[in-house]
Amino acid sequence: MTIDLPGHGENSRIGASLDATADLLAQVLPVEPFILAGYSFGARVSLHFALSHPQRLRGLVLLGASRGIEDLQERAWRRQRDNELADRIERIGTDRFLQEWLAQPMFADLPNDPSERSARSRDPRGLATSLRLAGTGTQRWLGEELRTLNVPALALAGERDAKFAKEALALATSVPLGASRLISNAQHAAHLEQPEATASTIAAYHFQ
């Protein structure tokens, strides 16, 4: 079961914070315990869902996740940067923005798949709203809260994505039932760069 998050795809006209998004997900996801997986923005949403609705989960799979930014000044700077990026998306449109976004070094090994790129969100206002309301700069620091989360969590990252590989290890250490795995020969979008290796890593993990 896959869902378009607020600001994306069919839900591009919905604007919501990370906590509000978690509550929106609670209205449409199964009531019986299930495994929730998320990548990047989706991984941050998954963490907020887990903290708000832990009884709904059997496990978490987090790829490229972040606990947030602990330093208040750095967090404020990131929020300003997110807002500036949101302004740019609205100014230049999604096609040009996507070209700029995927030109970053962390996506250097991303396969050139026209069908995958054409499926990406194309509503500049939706993407901009998502950044303003639920960007990394808006996320509270979850480091201490995660120590209370009694849900098995598998934190993944590409082995060549240094920042998020370090974060995956920190996440696994923060969550009592946490574990981390690195995907070989992959950067940030490991599920697109090494889909079979990512899938097999997840399938091989046994949630308690």
Which residue shows structure tokens 């079979």?
196
At position 176, the amino acid (one-letter code) is P
Entry pTM: 0.93
Q: Which of 92, 63, 109 is nearest to 84 (CA)?
A: 92
Q: How confident is the model at residue 122, as a pLDDT?
A: 83
Structural domains of the chain, ranges and CATH numbers in brackets: 9-204 (3.40.50.1820)
Residue 150 DSSP one-character state: -
Q: What is the pLDDT of residues 123-148, one digit of tens each?
A: 999 999 999 999 999 999 999 999 99
Q: Is the pLDDT of residue 93 over 70?
A: yes
Q: Measured between alpha carbons, how far is 83 from 89 in angstroms, rounded to an integer?
A: 10
Q: How confident is the model at residue 140, as a pLDDT?
A: 96
* Packing angle of the helix pair 41-52, 124-134 (nearest 10 deg): 50
Average pLDDT, the chain: 94
55 to 49, 141, 175: CA distances (angstroms)? 10, 22, 15
Q: What is the pLDDT of residues 151-171, one digit of tens each?
A: 999 999 999 999 999 999 999
Which residues neighbour 95 within 8 Å (Cβ) at sequence distance 6 or greater? 122
For residues 109 and 35, the answer to whether their CB atoms sit within 8 Å is no
Q: What is the pLDDT of residues 182-201, one digit of tens each?
A: 999 999 999 999 999 999 99
Q: How confident is the model at residue 85, as a pLDDT?
A: 96
